[in-house]
A and B are shown apart, each in its own frame.
Chain A
Amino acid sequence: MFELFNYEFMQRALAAGLLVAVICPLIGTFVVMRRLSMIGDTLSHASLAGIAAGMLGGLYPLWSALIFSLAAAIGIEKLRKHFPQYAELSISIVLSASIGLAVVLISLANSFNADLMSYLFGSIIAVNALDIYIILGLSIIILVSVGLFYKEFFYMAFDEEGAELAGMPVSSLNMYFTVLTAMTIVVSMRVVGMMMVSSLMVVPVACSLLISKSFKNTIFLSVFFALISVVIGLFSSYWFDLAPGGSIVLTSVFILIAVIIVKRIFRMQ
């Protein structure tokens, strides 16, 4: 059963997948509770523009994706100040701009090649050593940051005005959190692909919200569900020759459906 891990590419795939399974729902829980679920899609589209730009300019795509994603994250925060009552409006504006830019850059590159496709739909088994180092480095930054600012991010998610009144530097922390979200997107793109990255931030969180007993519990359960999704998704993709990114996301959706059904059964009893 475990002979597939004799292959180095599968070891790298599993390592990348497990890291992503930890950081995606970790950031995703705060994102969902702040009702900013669309931010994942927006930043992943900005990353796509970054990848296209990287391919055009000969830069390593994950770096250019990170730069574009961070620029989009900062743009969202700046716009949010102009529309304080409509947080989602700034996200929609940056989403539109990112799609437009991505399409223009891809057309300039005059190609829609296999490499670009691997970023669109994920290519976990093609993760190379450099990818692993980048994923590991960014994951450590994300984990340490959430560890340090957990109580701040929690307060801002629960009651942003209250956090501000408590003397918290809410604007700076908002910016930092959005930057962490951008990093999470870039890290996850290689694994599940740009089209599905936000689902790994949202679906495991949705599962845990159905049964969690506290905020911390929500985070741990989300990570647990994401880890199961990655492992089952990766194994099934190997055995049944399926796309790994899609298998991981579909597994997480099946888990969500299972949790809903089990919860309903328990309620009926």
Chain B
Amino acid sequence: MEQRAAYLVRGLSKTYRGATSRANDGIDLEVPSGEIFGVLGPNGAGKTTLVRQLVGLVRPDQGEISLLGHDVIAEPRVAPRLVAYLAQEEPALAELDVRRAIETTGRLRGLSRREAGAATKDLLDELGLGGLADRPLTRLSGGQRRLACVASALVADRPVLILDEPTTGLDPVARHAVWSAIGRRRAEYGTTVLLVTHNVLEAETVLDRVAVIDRGRVIACDTPGRLKAAVDDSVRIVLVWHHEPPYDDSMVETLARAAIVEGRRWSVRLERSRVRDVLDRLTQAPLFDALEDYTVSTPSLEDVYLSLGGTRPDMDKQ
């Protein structure tokens, strides 16, 4: 049989002690080898619980997890030998300097002292961390600290990388360095990457395939392009009002009912057929005078999430 999936997950369920609802509720997933696979969903959707089970940290109540032909539930200690896992935070590394954090992780993945030293030097260069090598992580900015943790995840190459929001807080240069490093590993070693994110833009640009998770369930799983095609009959309009919106206008009143309101910012998904009329009205006085800004965009993965019944539109759009 030919290689198909790095991870194959069937019926995965987990309820934490004392919790009233399931953190994961019957999750099925297939993560193809060599792909960058995303798990996208709002905070609290069950993404981190899912990956903690995939790396053998948490034992599921039910279900099966196969990792490169190994049963992770029967042998949870096999996962650390195949997977490099970057958690959302790495407090164990916080008080080490950058060089020591990477080197220690390398040694704990089975590298000799000499190999870990050489791999650390390469990673410091690759991610542009050379100037920070001897600074403790606690004395770095949030983005620099995150970059150092990414470096520790990349040391001692593993066939599977599971990265829980690796680029949170990174500036564009560091973000580019991270994606280049991941891309290189994928091209050279066929590394599979499972990326947990709530950043829609990142999900759309780097992922081969994405599973959208809401309240512990996978509500969609496909390529970002195909998922967006399912909602391409719509357009998103974002309005930012100067002050209080003019509710006495009938169209504004209608839009308000469909909008996600965050202060003076409204975000509304409209059918394409209605957009021209709405824009005509918005670009004329008095509504135009009441607007500080407006944007019109094609559907995003957030729209996919909402159209599938997702309930918490707090995904990061930056």
- Whether A associates with B in a native complex is no
Please give the residue numbers on chain B whose beta carbons come within 8 Å of chain A beta carbons, in ascending order: none
